[in-house]
Amino acid sequence: MCSIFCCTTKEVDYKKMLDGFYRTVSRGPDMSRIERTPSGYMAFHRLAIMGLNAAGMQPFSMGKDKLVCNGEIYGFRPLKRRLEELGYTFASDSDCEILLPLYREYGTKMFSMLDAEFALVLYDGQKDEYIAARDPIGIRPLYYGYLADGAILFASEPKNLVGLAEGEICPFPPGHYYYKGRFYRYTDIAAAEEYLPDDVDTVCRNIRIKLTEGVRKRLDADAPVGFLLSGGLDSSLVCAIAARQLGRPIKTFAIGMDKDAIDLKYARIVADHIGSVHTEVIITREDVIAALESVIAALGTFDITTIRASMGMYLLCQKIHAISDVRVLLTGEISDELFGYKYTDFAPDAAAFQKESQKRVRELHMYDVLRADRCISVHSMEARVPFGDLDFVRYVMHVDPARKLNVYGKGKYLLRKAFEGDLLPESILWREKAAFSDAVGHSMVDDLKEYAEEKYGSDWKQIAKKYAYHARPFTKESLLYREIFEKYYPGQAKMVKAFWMPNPHWEGCKVSDPSARVLSNYGDSGK
């Protein structure tokens, strides 16, 4: 992960701007730089992943043009060779350096050409214009806000803009670019106007091929790579595929509470099966409570399920940073949004399932993707998400949703069926889905609820009224999170659309807690 920042005017309090920029130095601890353009400033904190020497430092310049990009451009080497044949020269081995000549050749059309996770700002020196863009899923973070005079600011995280921007700080919409005061959609990754005619066997074969390729791409790094392993289906598949492709032991990491940790035993089974160098981290109630404020400050959200699920991930990444040289972490996010979660078993029909999947994919940048980015980047590492591979996502979104409905007696059937064989033990491949936060240990969520109960009395609803401007807290736990959020991001709750909850319009999903644990079909998931 790196951190980018851009101010499109020089009429700005320079000290405030610098203060905002340096709030995310943990995203890029290797080197920092701020440069002037004729009309503003562009700045960059670097975490060196590709091209580890100083030549890969940004902003990149070509003629009058400048670029800052937090991104991974997959398959950049063939593109680079093509550009070299056109006469362009490069100073570094960085994948992002190809973006300026690509812009010269293709303009804003280049965004739809990229197989990439990226957030960027490009300064066109000929036009004195700033162009910003974000990848189709929003895996790389980007936010914007405005100064009092209307000049736009761009930054990797909202904390960069707090106290600098006037009014609301907004997430940059995924799959869009900004040019001359307007946002333009260049792609909608979740859209599917018609479905593929593929039968189940064909679907499963393509799922296996495309996910395997998605993992392969994300193993390309000049810095050390590690893997988060929960023992659930998704992270286990990523780890097993990577281990087989690399042909050597990979580094896997798992976390659990000191009591009732569900996932640790399953993670150990997977680690033993694939022969990984495995590290277990044990945490306590005291660790969770002590980290709560730091987690919310890092996340920039008040959402209940995001915060719960972040506790273990944050503390695990903190430990990985302290004990290893790992700079890149592969994770299992995005599978649920594509193939379904426990609550999607209640989808009334295929059309409803597809609509819900589209909604969740379009909102990923506010929830699971945000969690993975912040928990990993705040500890100076980069997140890579194979299930977010663009080719993979587009394919799965075009699979007939009737085939994705849980009519098989097992959620995510197509994904499980696709990887039958010796890649994973049967007990893992067909394991019931457990709620992420519960899997760290059922006691963790209970501890957080208990802590909130201790903080507030019977007047908590009255306290919650002051946050009624958006997503009013509805439990003591949600009030606790909101109060911490407002401390660091005052008045900025609209950055998150709403609380992540199961679809309340579906029978069986009218619940008051986001955990799958409260659903009637949870069954053996938490065992």
**Catalytic site positions:** 2, 47, 70-71, 305, 308
CB within 8 Å of 187: residues ≥ 6 apart: 111, 112, 136, 175
74 alpha carbon, distance to own chain's centre: 17
CB within 8 Å of 426: residues ≥ 6 apart: none
How many whole angstroms separate alpha carbon 312 and alpha carbon 230? Answer: 10
Q: How many CB atoms lie within 10 A of CB 418?
A: 23
Helices (H) and strands (E) in the chain, counts: 19, 17
How many whole angstroms separate alpha carbon 494 and alpha carbon 468? Answer: 11
| Residue 99 contacts residue 120 (beta carbons within 8 Å) | yes
Q: Shortest CA distance to 482 belongs to which of 469, 500, 467, 497?
A: 467
Q: Shortest CA distance to 96 belongs to which of 144, 48, 145, 43?
A: 48
| Residue 366 contacts residue 172 (beta carbons within 8 Å) | no
Element (H, E) at 103: helix 99-106
| Residue 464 contacts residue 473 (beta carbons within 8 Å) | yes
CB within 8 Å of 400: residues ≥ 6 apart: 195, 196, 197, 198, 350
**Phi and psi at residue 386, in whole multiples of 5°?**
-60, -35
How many whole angstroms separate alpha carbon 114 and alpha carbon 137? Answer: 13
How many whole angstroms separate alpha carbon 228 and alpha carbon 486? Answer: 30
How many whole angstroms separate alpha carbon 179 and alpha carbon 130? Answer: 7
Q: Shortest CA distance to 229 belongs to which of 270, 257, 195, 259?
A: 270
How many whole angstroms separate alpha carbon 265 and alpha carbon 282? Answer: 12
**Residue 501: helix, strand or coil by DSSP?**
coil
Q: Shortest CA distance to 300 belongs to which of 141, 167, 175?
A: 141
Q: At what angle do helices 285-299 and 304-323 cross, to 10 degrees?
A: 100
